[in-house]
A and B are shown apart, each in its own frame.
Chain A
């Protein structure tokens, strides 16, 4: 009983950490650039499909595909930003949502056309499979890997934001865009780099998610809701908020799926709507 509980908690947390990697970039785009980018899931899908292609067709090792997924999603997102997004920075929320949903729909169709509608089969390397057994408890190695990876990424992000020159520029742009511009910062460039970083993380998350979440063309839409919950509840442009929310969301989701499966997504949506109505700017939002 306890063992089951602990292992569910562990799985839920690992799942939550994956959600964090997937969605932290979205939180940054929304908070910094005030752009509703619903195509964030499509960036994740780019990373996922690229990783799976490299592994299954070109025989690359899993770990080697991760940086490629990161870079590819980042580049893809910057191209989109230059070509489409920047035209709509001053447009309404609705126009931004619709444009990016259009991109989501296209990416779903393209993925279905190129890769088919089935879930992609994935073969993780041996050292990431299996379980570690400690007395009564057992933990999946890959889940452990996810948690460690997410913690490393979080640490890098927090340290980068706090202690590097670029991080200081990002913080300045988030806090007061006009002032930052006035002080001579190249705000557009900072935005672009941050956007690329966030999308790259989505791509990395997409590659990491192939095994636990399954990769099919609907990925971009299916997990969009989760990403949006993380952002909406965690507050915009808040790494800390996104981290806690994602962890909690993962645990709630795994627990509700295990103990009350018939409720399905119901609780998830209820929690999301309830929290948003209670605190529209996010539960962990800075005041």
Chain B
């Protein structure tokens, strides 16, 4: 470990290359995502939702974990993506893949537009503006009842089969394959981004906001770029959700959704790529089990989970595991 960090100081390229290299555990993780087809074929619908939530949490990780930008309104991009995909399909173009790409491009464009506001403010004001924008867009969606269906949600979304061959079935088989592939490809892209020199500069920004401009990094521009990337993937997640469920509820834009995705990320561990994915899986399974008992009281468990994670596991499950492994290692040596 120590030898690696010393050589790192001399050769930054080598460090980045080492981070890009695939580890055995990562391959195991992605192979394990195929297990539900064999082990729990009755839960594929839930699995597709987990994949979508994981992608959404991953997109938030780019902001919260890697760039140190707080967002308590990330659902706004999810919602824009979801409504875009839903409206495209409803208005006669039900081809999933092109619809997916178009919806995420719309979300990215929206993110670009918003990023001009976001880079100007920080701290408490930033948290409030992200919340406010999410509520604002939610209110717009609610008011344009004729287009979005308002409170009733966007109904009548009809998707064509993927490649004209694979229909979205009620068991969620196609949905899971589709969502998993989209999430995996997005993950590859995000993984590449965070392990690039650009990603390194974002982390530098997270660690010290004054120093990065001082060494010549144009931080506002970089932040805008990461905002657009994050919005794009959040929109992609929203679009996936709209396409696989063939429905968009107003709750796609709600404060609760923004809070939930943050919980997933913090639960898993921010700034670790896999934190959001694992957090999403645990969160969604827990919700599926607990909300079955009584959806009303799910909020209690959600709140308790938040308090426990923040107090006892500030770096999330993965952070806790990493600290544990480090401790074991140092004890042995």
Q: Do A and B come from one complex?
A: yes
Distance, CA A273 to CA B126, complexed state (A):
10
Contact with B along A96-110 (1 / 0, CB 8 A): 011101111111111
**Chain B CB within 8 A of A8 CB:** no
- Tell me if B132 and A99 are in contact (CB < 8 A): no
- Tell me if B72 and A270 are in contact (CB < 8 A): no
- Tell me if A263 and B296 are in contact (CB < 8 A): no
Distance, CA A272 to CA B311, complexed state (A):
31
**Chain B CB within 8 A of A130 CB:** no
Contact with A along B120-142 (1 / 0, CB 8 A): 11111111110111011001101
Distance, CA A273 to CA B120, complexed state (A):
13
- Tell me if A102 and B296 are in contact (CB < 8 A): no
Residue of A nearest to B270 (CB): A94
Q: Which of A77-129 contact B (CB under 8 A)?
A: 84, 87-88, 91-95, 97-99, 101-110, 112-113, 117
Which of A45-53, A172-180, A275-283 contacts the other chain?
A275-283
**Chain B CB within 8 A of A225 CB:** yes
- Tell me if B263 and A269 are in contact (CB < 8 A): no
- Tell me if B121 and A273 are in contact (CB < 8 A): no
- Tell me if A232 and B303 are in contact (CB < 8 A): no
Tell me whether A228 and B64 are in contact in the complex, defined as CB-CB below 8 angstroms, given that A109-B299, A266-B143 are known contacts.
no
Distance, CA A206 to CA B231, complexed state (A):
38
Give the secondary structure class of B's interface: helix
Distance, CA A270 to CA B300, complexed state (A):
31
Tell me whether A113 and B259 are in contact in the complex, defined as CB-CB below 8 angstroms, given that A106-B307, A280-B122 are known contacts.
no
Tell me whether A232 and B124 are in contact in the complex, defined as CB-CB below 8 angstroms, given that A91-B314, A269-B135 are known contacts.
yes
**Chain A CB within 8 A of B282 CB:** no
Q: Which of B127-162 contact A (CB under 8 A)?
A: 127-129, 131-133, 135-136, 139-140, 142-143
The total of chain B residues at the interface (CB under 8 A) is 43
- Tell me if A98 and B263 are in contact (CB < 8 A): yes
**Chain B CB within 8 A of A30 CB:** yes
Contact of A109 among B136, B300, B305 (CB under 8 A): B300
Distance, CA A103 to CA B309, complexed state (A):
13
- Tell me if B132 and A102 are in contact (CB < 8 A): no
- Tell me if B128 and A272 are in contact (CB < 8 A): yes
Distance, CA A113 to CA B294, complexed state (A):
11
- Tell me if B139 and A112 are in contact (CB < 8 A): no
Residue of A nearest to B116 (CB): A277
Write 19 A-B pairs (CB below 8 A) sorted by A numbering: A36-B124, A91-B310, A93-B127, A94-B262, A97-B72, A99-B310, A101-B306, A106-B307, A109-B300, A109-B303, A112-B297, A262-B143, A264-B143, A269-B135, A269-B136, A270-B136, A272-B128, A276-B125, A281-B125
Residues of chain B whose beta carbon lies under 8 Å from any beta carbon of chain A: 64, 70, 72, 117, 120-129, 131-133, 135-136, 139-140, 142-143, 255, 259, 262-263, 266, 296-300, 302-307, 309-311, 314
Residues of chain A whose beta carbon lies under 8 Å from any beta carbon of chain B: 30, 36, 84, 87-88, 91-95, 97-99, 101-110, 112-113, 117, 221, 225, 228, 232, 236, 262-266, 269-270, 272-273, 276-277, 280-281
Closest 6 CB pairs of A and B: A102-B306, A105-B303, A109-B300, A106-B303, A280-B125, A269-B136
